[in-house]
Amino acid sequence: MRLDWRSLFGRHDLTEQTIIFGIGNPGSKYLKTRHNAGLWCIDKLATAHSIVIAKNTRLNILGEGSIGQSPVVLVKPKTFVNDSGRAITSLLSRYRTNASRFIVIHDEMALPTGKLRIRPDGSHAGHNGVKSIIGALGSQEFTRIKIGVGRPQGQDGDIDHVLGVPSQEEYASISGSVRAATEAIETILTEGIETAMNKFN
C-alpha cells in the first residue's frame, strides 16, 4: 500500500496555511515597548478571530486557526528581536513551508508614528529582526507589515527609542495602525496583497 506522507504529519503539513509572525521581545519588561508592535498585532488578530495562542515550542508560542476561510498560524517568538531568524528556522522545520507563506509584522522607525506600510518583499532596511529572518529564510520574498513608530527625538538613540514605552498619544496612534494592520492581513488573505497595498498603504 502506498503511504501518503501528508498523513504522517497531520496538521504539520501546512503548505496551505499562512504563518503570521510578530517580531518582538519576550517578557513583561518589553511588553509595552515600541519594538513589540508586531506582537500587539498578533494578540489583536488572536482576539478578533478566537485563536488561542498557547502551544509552547522551544522557540515560539503558537496558535492555529482560521481568518475567514484561510487557515493560519499565529506566532509569538520566544527569541529576542535580533535573533528572530532562529524562531523562523524552527517554524520552517516544523511546518515544512517556505518564505512565501510568511507574513511578518514589525515596528518601523522609517515611518511616522501610526503609519502603515505593506510590502511583498524587499531588504531589511536596517531592521535587525527582519535581517535575521532574511538570513534564516534565505530569501527576501515574504510579506511584511510595517507599523510606524517614528524616529527618536532629543538625545534618545535608536535602541532607546524602540525599547522605550510610547507616550499616551503615541500609543493611541500606534494602536490605530495595529488595528489597520489586522484589517490589512484579513484583506491579504481574502483579496490578495495588491488589494491590501492599494487600500492601506
pLDDT of residue 151: 87
110-119 mean pLDDT: 94
pLDDT (tens digit per residue) in 121-162: 988 887 999 999 999 999 999 999 999 999 887 657 888 999
The x, y and z cell numbers of residue 35, run together, are 519594538
Asked whether the predicted pLDDT for residue 117 surpasses 80, the reply is: yes
Q: Mean pLDDT over all residues of the chain?
A: 90
Residue 114: give the domain boundaries: 5-200
Q: What percent of the chain has pLDDT over 70?
A: 91
Q: Residue 48 in contact with residue 131, Cβ under 8 Å?
A: no
pLDDT (tens digit per residue) in 39-59: 999 999 999 999 999 999 999
- Per the structure, the count of domains in the chain is 1
- Residues with Cβ < 8 Å from 99, sequence gap 6 or more? 137, 138, 139, 141, 142
Asked whether the predicted pLDDT for residue 90 surpasses 70, the reply is: yes
Query: Which of residues 125 and 28 earns the better pLDDT score?
Result: 28
Does the annotation mark 12 as catalytic?
Answer: no
Asked whether the predicted pLDDT for residue 3 surpasses 50, the reply is: no
Q: Residue 26 in contact with residue 78, Cβ under 8 Å?
A: yes
CB atoms within 10 A of CB 47: 11
Q: What is the CATH number of the domain that holds 186?
A: 3.40.50.1470
pLDDT of residue 2: 37
Annotated active-site residue in 35, 106, 127, 161: 35
pLDDT of residue 8: 34
